[in-house]
């Protein structure tokens, strides 16, 4: 049985300002590196966050926005791994009790990292969709559910990447970023409405295209999800999710990359930049390498979103390139 849609408000520019202040208390700006592949192409390296993923931004913004009663009651989060790490990190820093639900198939590297935090770690279901439904079902009684994408404060927190770019690079430029549930691209696209000359392109894995399907249909419906190296992007959307509507309104283009292209992206980042990047974190550079992003005369910023991959899986990808 599908759970009823939750009523979630859309984020505002004021939310972006509050998130910027909240995130700035705990995180420093991540670097912007020049790539060797083309002139005026840059990497925004958010894989260097303390949790190994950009998702700590949204988690900190959402946790900081809770009232004191909600902070005392605690929170519940569903995650493929990286959002859970962000919630665990933020909850530990803010002294908030947290339960993190991940699927039993979650990355071993992410589960091991989660186990290092003083949170209640629950492994439930065989995929993200099952973990999310269970997490929503056990929230309540004062405990807030913090979605990795369907939450205005999470979306605003992810938009702080854009706020940092405002200080690092002068427009015009195009920002290319991954899409799973759409929180990052929705946040960046909302931020881009406050900037002249900034475009946003979202990149999915071909194996999991829930957001682009919802944008095309104008409504959310389940789509087939295949196995993918970009495990952090895989899964369907919570009913009533706000990200497709935001993306449809403000994002300039959507595209998708294959598993082979994701591996090419990971190998490029490792060989040319010495960066350890998980599959989800490499989809944006994969799209650029595959010629699926149009520069339209602008500089390009590729968001590198995460590094949490088990070493044997990384070794397999790198070895296959030789």
To which residue do tokens 């095309």 refer?
A: 216
pLDDT at 221: 95
pLDDT at 1: 41
Q: In this predicted model, which residue has the larger pLDDT, 208 or 80?
A: 208
Answer left, alpha or beta for residue 62, where phi above 0 means left and psi between -120 and 50 means alpha.
alpha
pLDDT digits (tens, 9 = 90+) for 214-266: 999 999 999 999 999 999 999 999 999 999 999 999 999 999 999 999 999 99
Mean of the pLDDT values across residues 110-136?
94
Contact residues for 68 (Cβ-Cβ < 8 A; gap 6+): none
Q: Which CATH architecture has domain 57-149?
A: 3-Layer(aba) Sandwich (3.40)
pLDDT at 296: 81
Q: Please check the confidence at residue 43 and state whether its pLDDT lies above 70.
A: yes
Q: What is the b/e burial string over 184-207, where b = at least 16 CB atoms within 10 angstroms of the residue's CB? A: bbbbbbbbbeebeebbbbbbbbbb
Give the start-to-end residue ranges of the domains of the chain. Answer: 13-54+153-319, 57-149
Q: In this predicted model, which residue has the larger pLDDT, 122 or 109?
A: 122
Query: What is the spatial distance between Cα 115 and Cα 239, in angstroms, rounded to a whole number?
Result: 30
Which backbone phi and psi does 75 adopt, to 5 degrees?
-135, 160
The domain made up of 13-54+153-319 has a fold known as Rossmann fold (3.40.50)
To which residue do tokens 């759409």 refer?
A: 182
Identity of the highest mean pLDDT range in 29-38, 193-202, 313-322? 193-202
Mean of the pLDDT values across residues 108-125?
93
Which of 91-100, 240-249, 294-303 shows the lowest mean pLDDT across its residues? 294-303
Decide whether 13-54+153-319 matches 57-149 in CATH topology: yes
pLDDT at 295: 81
Q: What does the mean pLDDT of the chain come to?
A: 95
Closest CA to 157 of 281, 247, 26: 26
Q: In this predicted model, which residue has the larger pLDDT, 87 or 298?
A: 87
The pLDDT-based confidence of 78 (bands split at 50, 70, 90) is very high
């Amino acid at each position: 049985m599908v759970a009823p849609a939750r009523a979630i408000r859309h984020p505002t520019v004021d939310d972006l300002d509050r998130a910027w202040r909240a995130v700035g208390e705990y995180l420093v700006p991540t670097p912007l590196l020049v790539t060797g592949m083309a002139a005026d192409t840059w990497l925004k390296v958010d894989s260097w966050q303390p949790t190994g993923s950009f998702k700590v931004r949204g988690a900190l913004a959402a946790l900081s926005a809770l009232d004191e009663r909600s902070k005392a009651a605690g929170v519940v989060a569903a995650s493929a791994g990286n959002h859970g790490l962000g919630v665990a990190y933020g909850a530990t820093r803010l002294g908030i009790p947290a339960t993190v639900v991940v699927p039993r198939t979650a990355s071993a590297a992410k589960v091991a990292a989660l186990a290092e935090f003083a949170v209640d770690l629950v492994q439930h279901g065989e995929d993200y969709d099952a973990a999310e439904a269970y997490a929503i079902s056990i929230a309540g009684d004062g405990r807030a559910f913090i979605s990795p994408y369907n939450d205005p404060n999470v979306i605003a927190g992810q938009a702080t990447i854009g706020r940092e770019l405002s200080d690092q690079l002068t427009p015009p430029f195009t920002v290319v970023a991954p899409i799973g549930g759409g929180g990052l691209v929705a946040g960046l696209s909302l931020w881009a409405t406050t900037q002249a000359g900034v475009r946003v392109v979202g990149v999915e894995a071909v194996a999991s295209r829930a957001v682009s399907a919802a944008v095309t249909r104008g409504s959310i419906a389940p789509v087939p999800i295949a196995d993918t190296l970009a495990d952090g992007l895989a899964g369907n959307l919570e009913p009533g999710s706000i990200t497709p509507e935001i993306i449809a309104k403000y994002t300039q283009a959507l595209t998708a990359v294959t598993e082979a292209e994701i591996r090419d992206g990971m190998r490029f980042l490792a060989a040319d930049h010495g960066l350890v990047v998980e599959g989800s974190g490499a989809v944006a550079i994969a799209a650029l390498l595959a010629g699926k992003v149009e520069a339209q005369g602008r500089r390009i910023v590729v968001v590198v979103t995460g590094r949490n991959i088990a070493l044997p899986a990384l070794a397999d990808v790198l070895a296959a390139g030789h």
